[in-house]
Every structure is written in structure tokens, then in C-alpha cells.
Amino acid sequence: MTRLLFVCMGNICRSPLAEGIFLHLAAQSGQRDRFEVDSAGIGDWHVGHEPDPRSQAVANKHGITLVCRARQIESPEDFENFDLLLAMDRQNHRDLISLSPSEHQGKIHLMREYDPEGGNKAEVPDPYYGGPRGFDDVYQMLYRSCEKLLEDLVKR
């Protein structure tokens, strides 16, 4: 079993959407039982909250239901328990590196490293302060990234 943790700032917009998309794609491909998937936030502002309604709306539009509740990253447990931690942006990546025991830092990657239209430095922008269009754009980035991530993990 491969264990994945998607991480953003507050765990209500990007990371729950990534979690939902990845689970949806894994189920569609018949690979769901190969993965344990979760999401978390760097900060504790939204702990216990449902995903942002705009994340839920864009997920629902694509037949995905987001069922998670926001939680904050738990150090060092999350670094020990997950095989791959996927940060949405460079600040999240830096925060994870600073929280992580050194032996687990190799598990931390930027989400868009897996996006065929992204690259090593590409970020998933935070759509929180924007309108619905930003959530549609983030959905597309995350979908492409999750699709490639799943493909790569299934090949292992």
C-alpha cells in the first residue's frame, strides 16, 4: 500500500481537492485498494471544517464528492506514516521541509512536478481569495497532476 498526503496552507481548498481527484482516478482505474490517501494543512485555522464550498462545487461538477475534514499536519507522525507528501506551492514545500525530520525530507515534493504542463518549480496557486474561475483552473492542474502521479505509482 502506498500512502499519500496532499498538503496546502489550510486544508480547505487545494489539498482536499487533490485528495478527492486522486481517489476518484484510482477508483476509476481499479487501483483504489493500493492507496491510502489523506490531506492536511500547514496551519490550524480551519481544523475540523469541511472543504471550501467552491472546492466542493468544482469537485461535484466533475462527479467527485469531497468527504474530508480539515486537519493540521502532525509532526513527526505524518512524515513517518506517509510515503509521499505533496505540497501545493513552494511555501508549503519549505514549511514541510522545516517541519520534517531530515530522514523523511526526500518524501516531500511539489504537486505540479507530476503535471505534464507544470514542472519542477510550478505551483498550484491558492484560489481562496479569488472567484470560481480560479477553482476551475486549480481543478485542471490537480487533475493532470493526479493522473500522472497515479500512472507513475501504478508502474512501480
**Active-site residue list:** 8, 14, 126
Q: Within a 10 A sphere around the Cβ of 59, how many other Cβ atoms?
A: 22
Sheet bearing 84-87, strands edge to edge: 35-41, 2-8, 84-87, 108-110
User: Which amino acid is present at 38?
Assistant: D
Rg (the chain; Cα; Å) = 14
3-state SS, residue 151: helix
Q: Within a 10 A sphere around the Cβ of 77, how many other Cβ atoms?
A: 9
Q: How far apart are CA 1 and CA 4, in angstroms?
A: 10
